[in-house]
Each structure stands twice: as C-alpha cells, then as structure tokens.
Amino acid sequence: MKLARKDLLGIQDLSVEEINLILDTADSFIDVSTREIKKVPTLRGVTVVNLFYEPSTRTRTSFEIAAKRLSADTINIATSTSSVVKGETFVDTARNLEAMNPDIIVLRHSAAGSPHMLSKVVRQSVINAGDGAHEHPTQALLDMMTMREKKKRLAGLKVAIVGDIAHSRVARSNIYGLTKMGATVSVGGPITMMPRCIERLGVEVHYKLEDAIRDADIIMMLRIQLERQETNLFPSLREYARYYCLNRKNIAAARDDVLIMHPGPMNRGVEISPEIADGPYSVILEQVTNGVAVRMALLYLLSGGKS
C-alpha cells in the first residue's frame, strides 16, 4: 500500500488507514536503527531540506538521522543563517528552494498554516515539523506508535493530556489522531491554558489534574513554556507545579499500569517530577526512538515507497 498524498501537513486530514499505514511502516523501520550497519540505500539520491524557522535540537536531529539512515542527503537551513534576515518573503524563499530541486522539505515555523502554504507553492513533498500552536503531526504519530507498541491497540485507550493545551500543537495533533483511532481523550490544565470550545474536538475537559488523569491508560504531560509566564497565564512556576506537576501521589488516580509520556524537552519539577519522568512506567525515551522510525517511514512513503 502506498501513501496517496504529496505532503504530511497534519493529523486532522489523515484517514485511519493512512495512520495505520504510517505506523506499520514505522514499525518495520525500527530494527534499522539497532543493526550494526544502521543504513539502508532506500533513498539514495533523495535530498531532504530541514527548513527550521524555530530552534530545535530533537526534531531536526531526528529528521536528519532518519534521512541519513535511508541514505538521503540532508541540507539544514536555520533562520539565523538564512536569507529571511534579508527580508525575502516566505513564498519567495519557498520557490527558490523548489527551484533547486530537493525532494522533501521539512518545515518548522512559528506561524500556523505555514506548511500548508508551502505545500501549495512548491511541487516537493512538505512535512510539517511543527507550525505555531497548530499541529505537530510527526510527534503525534510517534506518540501513537509508542502507545500502540506498549498497549497493543489504540481503540478504547483512555489518554489524558495535561498542561498548556491552548498553545500546544502536540496536544492538537494527538487529539485529532487519537479520537480518530478510537481512543478517549481527556485534557487537563488551568482554565487560562484551555482553549475555548475544545469540547468540540471530542475530548473531556478537566481543570484538576486528578480529574483529567482518572483511570487513564496513558498520561501525556506537556511542556510548560517558561516564556509564557510573562504573559500571566499562570502566577509562578511554583504555583503551576503545585497543581499540575505529575508526581508519585497524584498519579494514583490513573490506572496502575498507566504509561507516562512527554514530548520533551522536560522541565523537571515543573510539569513532571523526576521520580515519574524516570519511573518504571515512563516511555519518554521510547518516544524519541520511535520518532526516528516514524520520520523514516514518512520520508520513505512520501518518496513513493510501499509498505
């Protein structure tokens, strides 16, 4: 089976079959990263451009490793060294890149919708590596891959997502994906961080951590962006942690075999306590490992590969 689309812009417009195809393909790439020779010639001659308008270690590195394991060439463009400083429009930058004939452009941008605009402008495949507070589809795919691997299913799972829901592209992509795959999603966080009308996405809304995670199979703690503090969304980190830091005590509300996830980078002691982050039910590092496999799967499928 092939992925019959040019781009991977978000989870919202993926079908259940497409999500399954991507996750199955990712599963089949897991072993490449643990072999002695961690490289297959599948995408030789393919050029992947990582166009990052926001700083990122983990996502850029994950895409770069994924591309290299498939023998693709990678070109990194980060804003600080880019001609955006010279005042060129985003569309012109896009068309210029297109004219150099790469094959896939991986875009991270602070403006929601940028990858969609890019995909309309260029004939190359575009992968959304995070656009503003909108979507971060590869994160949601690696999250679902990890849940499926550990719980052997997605349908019927109860997943709690806790933190700054309003500003989280990770939350949004996961809500789209998980509800589509038949999981139940509950979100939790302070009312200042909860988007209005979030119920319309088919999730339960709670303002207390314990309520949000009650009977959860999976808890996904979101990173508090420390720079938000200035905008008065919460009084202090200390105050936030008091009510929303997942710890040994409040986790009791969840199921005994609950899995703990976090998209990283973690603020230990703010949204997650060290004993939970490093505890036996944390699958936070499996998420990172699966991230490489999911990105390999997408690079492969968008290049016309079959599962």
CA distances from 254 to 46, 92, 113, 176, 281 (A): 45, 50, 35, 22, 12
How near is the Cβ of 168 to a copy of itself at its closest, in Å? 14
Q: Are 59 and 142 in contact (CB under 8 A)?
A: no
Q: Token pair for residue 300?
A: 């492969």
Per-position b or e across 136-147, b if 16+ CB within 10 A of its CB: bbbbbbbbbbbb
How near is the Cβ of 299 to a copy of itself at its closest, in Å? 15
Closest among 181, 110, 90 to 141, alpha carbons compared: 181
How near is the Cβ of 167 to a copy of itself at its closest, in Å? 14
Residue 92 CA to residue 90 CA, distance in Å, equals 5
Q: Which residue has the tokens 């403006």?
A: 111
| Residues making contact with a copy of itself (CB under 8 A) | 33-39, 44-47, 49, 52, 55-58, 60-62, 64-65, 68-69, 73, 75, 77-78, 80-89, 92-93, 95-103, 223, 226, 264-268, 285-286, 288-289, 291-292
Closer CB to a copy of itself, 179 or 269, in the complex: 269
Under DSSP, the state recorded for 8 is B
Q: Are 143 and 169 in contact (CB under 8 A)?
A: no
How near is the Cβ of 57 to a copy of itself at its closest, in Å? 4
Closer CB to a copy of itself, 15 or 96, in the complex: 96
How near is the Cβ of 237 to a copy of itself at its closest, in Å? 11
How near is the Cβ of 301 to a copy of itself at its closest, in Å? 16
Closest among 11, 256, 302 to 145, alpha carbons compared: 11
How near is the Cβ of 295 to a copy of itself at its closest, in Å? 10
Closer CB to a copy of itself, 87 or 197, in the complex: 87
Closer CB to a copy of itself, 53 or 176, in the complex: 53
> Any idea what the Cα angle at residue 84 is, between residues 134 and 126, rounded to 5°?
45
Closer CB to a copy of itself, 47 or 307, in the complex: 47
Give yes or no for a cis peptide into 265 (omega within 30° of 0). Answer: yes
* Burial (CB count <10 Å: 0-12, 13-18, 19+), residue 37: exposed
Closer CB to a copy of itself, 77 or 112, in the complex: 77
Per-position b or e across 155-185, b if 16+ CB within 10 A of its CB: eebbbbbbbbbbbbbbbbbbbbbbbbbebbb
Closer CB to a copy of itself, 20 or 47, in the complex: 47
How near is the Cβ of 258 to a copy of itself at its closest, in Å? 21
Closer CB to a copy of itself, 112 or 237, in the complex: 237
